[in-house]
């Protein structure tokens, strides 16, 4: 994520951060919409060092980021799609410049599922987090319709056979929270996997909330529908986390 002492014109910086075409970014600067450290800049071709660079667009502060890494606490009734069909898109929760950068959801949550989603425009990071090869564990809080008994927990751990699958799917761990609630960790990312596995043990998912991806836990102070940038340390932690064997 280091940009060292690389320099770039303000026009190109704005373009790289999702503020429009190069022409649109030149116009923004000439219209006095852009400040650097409180000083209005009117020359779109002035160069700045990228390391630690920040700027303001109409008084909103932005930090230069070579790649975008962020999280959203997904609320219910949102679709993880650029072209939603029945509900609003999760991308509508993001500022326009971030959407324009082309960030992608890393994996999807169903419309009625809530919780942690990662997004990025870094192809290597997206692959690392989503490839079945790496088996990144994901932890879900599952509220069931009927009380969960020890036999059901054991079957989820041993493995259940689902339609269209060639071998049983099993949870890495299942922790009983209360009679109706379990916390289930999966390494795969199959279609509707949690719901289908719970149904296979004669129960039903009433609510589903993802609380963790790899070593990263959804912050308790991130409200539903809110987003934030990942820290550099969080990105490095995710990229370095060992493959689940």
Q: Is 116 exposed, middle or buried (0-12, 13-18, 19+ CB in 10 A)?
A: buried
The torsion region of residue 84 among left (phi > 0), alpha (psi -120 to 50) and beta comes to beta
pLDDT digits (tens, 9 = 90+) for 40-51: 999 999 999 999
**Residue 98 above 70 pLDDT?**
yes
**Residue 39 above 90 pLDDT?**
yes
- pTM for the structure as a whole: 0.89
**Residue 1 above 50 pLDDT?**
no
pLDDT of residue 2: 45
pLDDT interval class at 242 (50, 70, 90):
low
pLDDT, mean of residues 50-62: 94
Q: How far apart are CA 73 and CA 177, in angstroms?
A: 21
**Phi, psi at 177, each rounded to 5°:** -90, -50
pLDDT, mean of residues 197-217: 96
Domains and CATH numbers, the chain: 7-63 (3.10.290.10), 69-133+220-240 (3.30.70.580), 138-213 (3.30.70.1560)
Active site (catalytic) residues: 110
pLDDT of residue 216: 96
Sign of the CA dihedral running 152, 153, 158, 164 = positive
Give the residue, 191 or 73, on which the prediction is more confident: 73
Of 84-93, 135-144, 203-212, least confident by mean pLDDT is: 84-93
Whether 173 and 132 have beta carbons less than 8 Å apart is answered as: no
Q: Which residues pair with 186 in a beta bridge?
A: 138
Percent residues over pLDDT 70 in the chain: 96
pLDDT interval class at 166 (50, 70, 90):
confident
pLDDT of residue 81: 87
Q: How far apart are CA 235 and CA 139, in angstroms?
A: 18
Length of the chain: 245
**Residue 121 above 90 pLDDT?**
yes
pLDDT of residue 3: 43
For all residues of the chain together, what is the average pLDDT? 93
pLDDT of residue 163: 86
pLDDT, mean of residues 16-39: 95
pLDDT, mean of residues 52-59: 94
Classify 92 as helix, strand or coil.
helix
Residues 6+ apart with CB under 8 A from 199: 205
């Amino acid at each position: 994520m280091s940009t060292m002492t690389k320099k770039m014109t303000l026009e190109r910086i704005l373009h790289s951060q999702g503020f429009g075409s190069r022409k649109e970014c030149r116009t923004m600067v000439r219209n006095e919409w852009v400040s650097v450290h409180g000083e209005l800049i009117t020359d779109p071709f002035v160069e700045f060092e990228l390391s630690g660079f920040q700027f303001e667009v109409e008084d909103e502060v932005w930090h230069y980021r070579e790649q975008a890494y962020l999280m959203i606490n997904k609320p219910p009734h949102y679709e993880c799609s650029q072209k939603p069909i029945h509900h609003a898109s999760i991308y509508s929760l993001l500022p326009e410049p971030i959407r324009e950068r082309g960030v992608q959801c890393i994996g999807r949550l169903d419309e009625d599922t809530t919780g942690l989603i990662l997004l990025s425009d870094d192809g290597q990071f997206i692959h690392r987090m989503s490839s079945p090869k790496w088996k990144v564990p994901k932890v879900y809080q599952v509220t069931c319709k009927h009380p969960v008994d020890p036999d059901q927990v054991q079957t989820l751990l041993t493995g259940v056979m689902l339609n269209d699958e060639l071998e049983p799917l099993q949870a890495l761990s299942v922790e009983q929270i209360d009679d109706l609630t379990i916390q289930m960790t999966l390494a795969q990312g199959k279609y509707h996997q949690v719901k289908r596995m719970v149904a296979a043990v004669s129960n039903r998912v009433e609510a589903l909330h993802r609380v963790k991806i790899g070593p990263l836990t959804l912050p308790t102070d991130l409200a539903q529908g809110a987003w934030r940038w990942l820290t550099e340390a969080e990105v490095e932690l995710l990229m370095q986390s060992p493959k689940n064997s």
